Amino acid sequence: MSALVAGMDIGSTTAKCVLLEGKEIVGKSLSPVGVDIVKDAEVALELALRDARRERSEAAFIAGTGYGRYKVYFGQLTVTEISCHARGAHFLFPGTRLVLDIGGQDTKAIRVGSSGEVIDFAMNDKCAAGTGRFLEVCANALGFDIGEIGPLSLQARHPLKVTSTCTVFAESEVTSFVSRGKEPKDILAGLHASIVSRSLSLMQRVGIEPEVTFTGGVSRNEGMVLALRRRLGAPVNVSPLSQFMGALGAALAGQARCEGAAA
């Protein structure tokens, strides 16, 4: 029987945990991250174990990823989220050659080889331009919840051009559109398109090749998925588990380590 392996992705806003047994995801959890990252990581693991109806003692191996990976002090392995997203995307969509991951604070484009190995990657600079945080700030400026803006942007009839991807400047651009009486759905469509443009340049840096798999919290936003598909002129893989891709990748790396292969 395969060992139960936990993969934990401790990001800037959420902690994700995936429990993997063989090729099956037997449990998962998603919980917020606050100031006590160590405790939050513990909670994420407990929640996933509860989801799987398993005991802590049954987890044979724990691997951590994400910016808070070093806080998973109870883990046996830390892996960067870049290789985790590549592994996770390859596991769910074996034809993946390019991963676009847009999370709360960063955006990554990852070129992936046929075995799920990372060939090249590019990341946004050290600011929140073009990330999930950007969308969140702009959604707030328009008085919407982050979950509402994707579907709303799909209704746009005259998408506007948002020139700034800087979170601070875009917020004031949004406010000025509102004061000029522009429709929120058109502003939102412009915001989505502007993130896609920025992501595209990262993707071009590593080389765009199908299949493209979109991961990270922002990939749950339908407006973003559509804007990306339109811009690429090609299908884009999106999994309902996209937010868990890092944790899944960590679990896969843990599994590989357990089986004696290099993680």
Partner 1 sequence: MTGAAGAAPPREGDFLDSGRELQRRLVEEYYRGLAEAGGPQRPVAYMLVGGNLTEIVRSFGYEVVFPEIVALNCAIKHRSLENILHAEAMGYGLDVCGYVKNDLGLQDLGGSTPFGRIPRPDLLVCSFSGCYVYVKWWEALAESYGAPMFTYDVPYLREEVPYKEDIQYMVAQLWEFVHQLEKRTGRAFDMEELKRVLRETRRAEEGWARYLRAGRLRPSPIEAYFEAIFYMFPINVLRGTAQAADFYDVVNAEVERRVREGNLPLPEEKVRVLVEGVPPYTNYRTFWDFFRKWGAVSVVATYPKVGGLFDRGFLHDPARPFESIAEYSLGAYVNQSWTLRRKLIQEYLREYSVDAVVIHGIKSCRSFTAGQGDLRDWLIHDQGVPTLYIESDHQDPRYFAPAQIKNRMDAFFESLDQRRTTKAPATEVAA
Q: Are strands 77-78 and 212-215 parallel, antiparallel or unpaired?
A: unpaired
Residue 128 CB, shortest distance to partner 1, in Å, is 12
Between residues 54 and 205, which has the closer beta carbon with respect to partner 1? 205
Residue 210 CB, shortest distance to partner 1, in Å, is 12
79 binds partner 1 (CB under 8 A): yes
Between residues 126 and 161, which has the closer beta carbon with respect to partner 1? 126
Residue 153 CB, shortest distance to partner 1, in Å, is 30
How is the beta sheet containing 24-32 ordered, strand by strand?
A: 24-32, 14-21, 4-10, 59-65, 77-78
114 binds partner 1 (CB under 8 A): yes
226 binds partner 1 (CB under 8 A): no
Between residues 41 and 152, which has the closer beta carbon with respect to partner 1? 41
109 binds partner 1 (CB under 8 A): no
Write out the binding residues for partner 1, residues 148-187 only, by CB under 8 A: none
Between residues 198 and 220, which has the closer beta carbon with respect to partner 1? 198
58 binds partner 1 (CB under 8 A): no
Binding part of the chain for partner 1, among 108-116, 134-142, 165-173, 184-192 by CB under 8 A, reads 108-116
Residue 179 CB, shortest distance to partner 1, in Å, is 31
Residue 243 token pair: 């937010």
Q: Are strands 98-102 and 212-215 parallel, antiparallel or unpaired?
A: parallel
Closest CA to 127 of 106, 146, 141: 106
Q: Could you write out the three-class secondary structure of the chain?
A: CCCEEEEEEECCCEEEEEEEECCEEEEEEEEECCCCHHHHHHHHHHHHHHHHCCCHHHEEEEEEECCCHHHCCCCCEECCHHHHHHHHHHHHCCCCCEEEEECCCCEEEEEECCCCCEEEEEECCCCCCCCHHHHHHHHHHHCCCHHHHHHHHCCCCCCCCCCCCCHHHHHHHHHHHHHCCCCHHHHHHHHHHHHHHHHHHHHHHHCCCCCEEEECHHHHCHHHHHHHHHHHCCCEEECCCHHHHHHHHHHHHHHHHHCCCCC
111 binds partner 1 (CB under 8 A): yes
Residue 105 CB, shortest distance to partner 1, in Å, is 10
41 binds partner 1 (CB under 8 A): no
Residue 13 CB, shortest distance to partner 1, in Å, is 16
123 binds partner 1 (CB under 8 A): yes
Between residues 36 and 117, which has the closer beta carbon with respect to partner 1? 117
Residue 125 CB, shortest distance to partner 1, in Å, is 8
Residues that bind partner 1 (CB under 8 A): 67, 79-83, 111, 113-121, 123, 125-126, 205-207, 209, 261-263
